[in-house]
Amino acid sequence: MSDYQSNLVDPFGRAISYLRVSVTDRCDFRCTYCMAEDMTFLPRKDLLTLEEIDRLASAFVTRGVRKLRLTGGEPLVRRNVMSLIESLSRHLGSGLDELTLTTNGSQLYRFADQLAEHGVERINVSLDTLDPAKFRVLTRWGDFHQVMRGIDRAVRAGLKIKINAVALRDVNEDEFEDLLRWAHGRGFDLTLIETMPLGEIGTDRTDQYLPLSLVRTRLAQHFTLDDLPDRTGGPARYVRVRETGGRLGFITPMTHNFCESCNRVRVTCTGTLYMCLGQEDAADLRAPMRASSNDDLLHAAIEEAIARKPKGHDFVIDRDTTPSVPRFMSATGG
């Protein structure tokens, strides 16, 4: 039997210290680059219970995961999700360094105070535009002013905020200077993200794709961008914007394969473990977890899966290529 206190290391010597867990595939937005408008969501019976998510995440913490991020869909629309966050917070200071989440901000005005109370110190908020009308078009269902209200509440609760914005050609490419000044003016980091070929969304992604190399060149005409050595094990490459003093990140899965230092894996809301966002290979953790009241089978399944973690992904966007990965981002988890 394996030592279930040993850390998880993949075939390329990368220690797995970061777990992203989707608590739901449901969302109260239908962002045009992420979902089709008429999404069919999973039957609730297929989802892991909150207790199962806790058990699964806790197993990873015992194996060396130091950072746990809850995602969706929109994690804050999952019923009773605060009870899960409260329970997981018991690991903070006892193996877990950080418990955080990525949100569209729609429910922050309801939950920001509770998040802070349960040990969440930092959150990522997805926000692609500061134009309320454009925000409604992009999200289809979203209310910009409700998101701003939630961000304000999160600030008052003491949460640190990073803004994530997907770069979309002919949609928000003229806004990045304003978005940067707004975010840094409020003390928020900003990270720009290239659109990724995940799921059939009903439109041609080549019409949306905007390389961040071009965005950076344009921003450099207005700002002094000093490269930073900051590495989180994640995909972002960071610069310090001299004029604002703030930090700006670039996530470039299309123009730069960022996999060499990948320290993360993802678990879906149905208990499927994806070792790489851009590959289809996966492992079912729900079945071994439900097959036994102890975690031996679960740990064995996790070990076997990590032993198959690939070196990197192979994202492609062009008009003649179907999505590199057919599943939606909301199914994999943020």
Cα–Cα distance for residue pair 113/115, rounded to 1 Å:
5
Of 318 and 118, the one with more pLDDT: 118
Segment (H or E) for 272: strand 272-274
At 113 the pLDDT is 98
Best-predicted range by mean pLDDT among 22-26, 60-64, 195-199?
60-64
pLDDT in tens, 152-175: 999 999 999 999 999 999 889 999
How much is the mean pLDDT over the chain? 87
Q: Provide, rounded to the nearest whole percent, the portion of the chain with pLDDT above 70.
A: 84
At 130 the pLDDT is 97
Cα–Cα distance for residue pair 114/124, rounded to 1 Å:
16
Binding residues for S-adenosyl-L-methionine: 33, 73, 126, 196
Cα–Cα distance for residue pair 246/191, rounded to 1 Å:
11
Binding residues for [4Fe-4S] cluster: 27, 31, 34, 259, 262, 276
Could you tell me the pLDDT band of residue 37, with boundaries at 50, 70 and 90?
low
Could you tell me the pLDDT band of residue 46, with boundaries at 50, 70 and 90?
confident
**pTM, whole model, 2 decimals?**
0.88
The domain ranges of the chain are 18-332
Q: Give rounded-to-5 percent helix, strand, coil for the chain.
A: 30, 20, 50
Whether the Cβ atoms of residue 117 and residue 163 lie closer than 8 Å to each other: no
Q: Provide, rounded to the nearest whole percent, the portion of the chain with pLDDT above 90.
A: 66
Q: What is the DSSP letter of 260?
A: G
Could you tell me the pLDDT band of residue 182, with boundaries at 50, 70 and 90?
very high
At 199 the pLDDT is 46
pLDDT in tens, 275-285: 987 777 899 99
Whether the Cβ atoms of residue 12 and residue 310 lie closer than 8 Å to each other: no
Question: How many CB atoms within 10 Å of residue 321?
Answer: 12
pLDDT in tens, 67-113: 999 999 999 999 999 999 999 999 999 999 999 999 999 999 999 99
Q: Check residue 199 and give left, alpha or beta (phi > 0: left; psi -120 to 50: alpha).
A: left
Structural tokens at position 45: 């019976």
Could you tell me the pLDDT band of residue 319, with boundaries at 50, 70 and 90?
very low
Structural tokens at position 85: 């966050």
Q: Give the relative orientation of helices 108-117 and 144-156 as an angle to the nearest 10 degrees.
A: 20
DSSP 3-state of 9: strand
Beta strands in 84-218 (DSSP E): 98-103, 122-126, 160-167, 189-194
pLDDT in tens, 129-144: 999 999 988 888 789 9
Cα–Cα distance for residue pair 74/105, rounded to 1 Å:
9
Class of domain 18-332: alpha beta
Binding residues: 20, 27, 31, 33-34, 69, 73, 102, 126, 162, 196, 259, 262, 264-266, 276
At 324 the pLDDT is 47
What are phi and psi for residue 252, nearest 5 degrees?
Answer: -125, 70
Cα–Cα distance for residue pair 285/210, rounded to 1 Å:
36
**DSSP conformation letters of 120-157:** --EEEEE---S-HHHHHHHHSS--HHHHHHHHHHHHHT
Cα–Cα distance for residue pair 154/142, rounded to 1 Å:
18
Residue 158 burial (C-beta neighbours within 10 Å; 0-12, 13-18, 19+): exposed
Can the peptide bond before residue 73 be classed as cis, meaning omega within 30 degrees of 0?
yes
pLDDT in tens, 233-277: 567 899 999 999 999 999 987 655 556 778 899 999 999 999 987
